[in-house]
Structure 1
Amino acid sequence: MKPSLLLLHGAIGASRQLQPLAAQLTSHYDVHLFDFPGHGGTPFSHQPFSIAVFAEATLEYIRRHQLQELTIFGYSMGGYVALYLARQYPKLIGRVITLGTKFHWDEITATREVKMLDADTILQKVPAFAENLSRLHAPNDWKTILQQTAGMLQSMGQDNPLKPAHYKEIETPVLIMLGDRDKMVSFEETIAAYKGLPDARLAILPGTPHPIEQVDALLLSFFLAPVVVSVTA
């Protein structure tokens, strides 16, 4: 039986964005693609978006599908959810791998990120992006997803769910990855999280920006393959 791999997408994203990566890893893993509540056409939760709500939905999926020997790969916000879950349930996950995850949140950071989630500005300046969001989340209203995400980020800015002291409590082996051209996530916050984890490795992906659509799926799959992770660990 193959080990399980659960792929978690980023904020305002959907699991279908990770399908190219999933295709590269089916020979190694029993691959699962998962959409957070309200994303990718899935029903909204009765509660507003939050890391806790997304983690609870992920936990329910893991238990319902009885995922064994589990690796979770989380892109951007998905990596944050994976680490949050690993802290809460240390025996549930065999390893966590993240890419482009933003660890540092305060009010200034949240305000800056929320400004990029204004639906009217997106429609005016990048209509193609608005159309893509509409297709990605249909039949759900993409504007509602932006509004709820903005609220979540503001809450994170006021009270970061994963504080620096929490990282030392995460016993799960972690591989933290960052693209060398990522303009959203800093090296400083990535290295700080890496140093705070008891069992962590760090990888910098060459020629890699933040948007998942611009990440080389073949390069990324190299770091996710079980044999590579076991060697680096």
Structure 2
Amino acid sequence: MSPATPLVPAVVVVHGALGSARQMAPVVEALRALRQFAEVVPVELPGHGETMLATGQPFEMTALADALGEAMARAAITRPLVFGYSMGGYAALVRELRAPGTSGGVVTLGTVLHWTPAIAARAAARLDASLIREKVPAFAATLAERHQGAGGWETVLAHTARLLRRLGDAPPLTDDTLAAIHCPVHLLVGDRDDSVSLRETAHAASRLPHARASLLAHTPHPIEQVDVACIAREVSDLAQRLSSGG
């Protein structure tokens, strides 16, 4: 097959918690460099980066998942392959659960798929603006620059902490609901990821009807430290398997 022949209509790239579309630019560029896809489209979820929440729009997982579907519809993208980093992978799977057939396939990286109140409380506790400002001022400065157009980084932190607690109390993805997601899914996790383990990821894959889990060597959680060429290869691999009917 010619490199110019698209295997899937498009790839949609979704950022993680506290992230933005601009943060995912290296991933988008690596995928475009393959010249394999008709389009590679980054999506910025409401309340992140330069995208404000609409009046009355809730900052919760099901609403973010629905916003992802709306972004695909506005771009006239049908059944794309979705790459979701961390929370973006969760949103992509929730969207497929709520609207089956939205995605042709989903690839996630570093996505926590098992939430309990205790897990959520620990994650939310790390999103304290005053502690971040004191302990990691460079990260605070990065967040401040990244979220200027979304109401400010402290607002994004507070919204995200509440979202995580809601995930702990009532996660939309469970062993039972994962079983209802029928598109092909590839769950990736780094061997140096301190947010999620291969064991957790493999368990989630075992609940999905058409999924596998893979461990990426020398890979931590932060997307800035991930080899984007490796991500591009994994997305390309799923696209080729979909094209061949595998």
TM-score range, shorter chain: over 0.9
Q: Show the counterpart of 1:14.
A: 20
Post-superposition, which runs of at least 4 consecutive aligned residues in structure 1 deviate over 3 A?
Answer: 228-233
User: Residue 185 of structure 1 aligns with which residue?
Assistant: 196
Q: Are 2:52 and 1:43 aligned?
A: yes
Aligned to 1:4: 10
CA distance in 2: counterparts of 1:151 and 1:47, whole angstroms: 14
- Equivalent position of 1:133 in the other structure: 143
Deviations 1:68-92 (A, max 9, x none): 3410110000000111111122222
% same residue: 39
What CA distance in whole angstroms lies between the structure 2 residues aligned with 1:94 and 1:227?
A: 12
Q: Report what 2:134 is aligned to.
A: 124
Per the alignment, residue 218 of structure 1 pairs with 229
CA distance in 2 between counterparts of 1:51 and 1:174 reads 19
Mapping of residues 134-149 of structure 1, within 5 Å: 134-139=144-149, 140-149=151-160
State the number of aligned residues.
233
Query: Please, which moves more after superposition, 96-105 or 131-140?
Result: 131-140
Equivalents in 2 of 1:17, 1:229: separation in Å? 28
Spell out the pairing of 1:1-233 with structure 2 (5 A cutoff): 2=6, 3-26=9-32, 27-29=35-37, 30-45=39-54, 46-139=56-149, 140-225=151-236, 226-227=239-240, 233=246
Deviations 1:176-202 (A, max 9, x none): 111111011122221110000100122
CA contact (8 A) 1:40 1:136 kept: yes
CA contact (8 A) 2:185 2:211 kept: yes
What residue identity is the alignment partner of 2:213? L
Instruction: Name the aligned partner's letter for residue 240 of structure 2.
Output: V
Give the alignment's TM-score, normalised by structure 1.
0.95
**Structure 2 CA distance for aligned equivalents of residues 85 and 71 of structure 1:** 13
> Counterpart of 1:43 in 2: which secondary structure?
coil
The verdict on how the C-alpha distance between 1:67 and 1:202 changes in structure 2, with shifts beyond 3 A counting, is same
CA distance in 2, matches of 1:200, 1:193: 9
Indicate how the Cα distance of structure 1 residues 229 and 130 shifts in structure 2: closer, same or farther if over 3 A, else same: farther
CA displacement at 1:12 relative to structure 2: 0.8
Q: Which amino acid aligns with 1:39?
A: H
Structure 2: distance between partners of 1:232 and 1:205: 25
Q: Contact (CA 8 Å) 2:202, 2:212: kept in 1 or not?
A: no
Q: 1:5 to 1:86 in 2, by over 3 A?
A: same
* Aligned partner of residue 169 in structure 1, secondary structure: coil
Which whole-Å deviations, capped at 9, do the CAs of 1:83-112 have from their partners, x for residues lacking one?
A: 111112222210011000001111110111
Task: Quote the RMSD (CA, aligned, Å).
Answer: 1.6
TM-score normalised to the size of structure 2?
0.90
